A and B are shown apart, each in its own frame.
Chain A
């Protein structure tokens, strides 16, 4: 497995999450969040674009960001399962964002010393973005968890539904291990303490408890996805597939 494939995994995480969050555009519970969520979506999609481009360069077969993002099917996508989970309600969406950002903030901080110039550049920018996502999503998790009877119930449901996808974040695929050995990406398992600290702080204020997860759900890194990803990709890729090379 090659380093470029690890960058595709990482880019897939960001693109899939970005598309999911963008699905809220025009549907958010209030105008302020209707702008905040596309802001967050664009942050992670921007990261995905840079990583796809870099992966294409390292692969050396002339694929650009569009070729990698739009011309692969769901079995070829390597994102972790957490990011493809459907939006459901605001509680699910904010918790998914918090889990992802809590992991990625630590990951990018560690990637500041990457051996790859592009990864180092992304790390500087994305680390700040993830810090804001932690704050934004975290404040909502706190208010929903410690809010009304209904908001607390929905927040607990989201914790129940999404926590089984957390452990996969800390796994390194063969490609990721190659990138770790080359000093390009940090070791994913080393993010656990920082992740637990962020989530622990938010959950204690939100009056939430982390459920014990005996068997975490895995499979995204080998292309085994939930049924929702295919539909999402069909929508995301339809324009490019109908009009190859279309540009603004």
Chain B
């Protein structure tokens, strides 16, 4: 079953206005069953109101060996962070 059934990544949106967030993965034969499996595995406690599934094989990941050249050059560019002013609480999620 596991060897022949494709793996899917599951993304759930907890509430309107928030973005879909990766919550885990499931096995399913096709997209219809994948959505059902995601619903049954990941929304049992009212976690969300929208589900995306995408085949794991369709996700392209960055190479961990390139982590240094990809991510370290940003370390000394603190001027890119919005840390120099206060965000009013009323703004909520940004």
Contacts and interface: CB of A to CB of B under 8 A. Distances in A.
Interface of A: 29-33, 35-36, 39, 135-136, 139-140, 143
A35 B37 CA distance: 9
Interface of B: 1-2, 5, 26-29, 32-33, 36-37, 40-41, 44
A36 B44 CA distance: 10
B44 A32 contact: no
Contacts of B29: 143
Contact of A36 (B1, B2, B36): B36
A143 B40 CA distance: 18
A31 B1 CA distance: 10
Contacts of B27: 30-32
A33 B34 CA distance: 11
Contacts of A30: 1-2, 5, 27
B32 A36 contact: no
A35 B43 CA distance: 11
A137 to B, nearest CB: 10
Nearest to A136: B36
11 contacts: A30-B5, A30-B27, A32-B40, A33-B37, A35-B40, A36-B37, A36-B41, A39-B40, A139-B33, A143-B29, A143-B33
Q: Which of B5, B28, B36, B44 has the most CB of A within 10 A?
A: B36
A36 B26 CA distance: 12
A136 B33 CA distance: 8
Nearest to A135: B36
A139 B32 contact: yes
A29 B5 CA distance: 12
Contacts of B28: 32
From A32, A33, A135, name the one whose CB has the most chain B CB atoms within 10 angstroms.
A32
Contacts of A39: 40, 44
A-B pairs, 5 with minimum CB distance: A36-B40, A32-B37, A35-B40, A35-B41, A30-B1
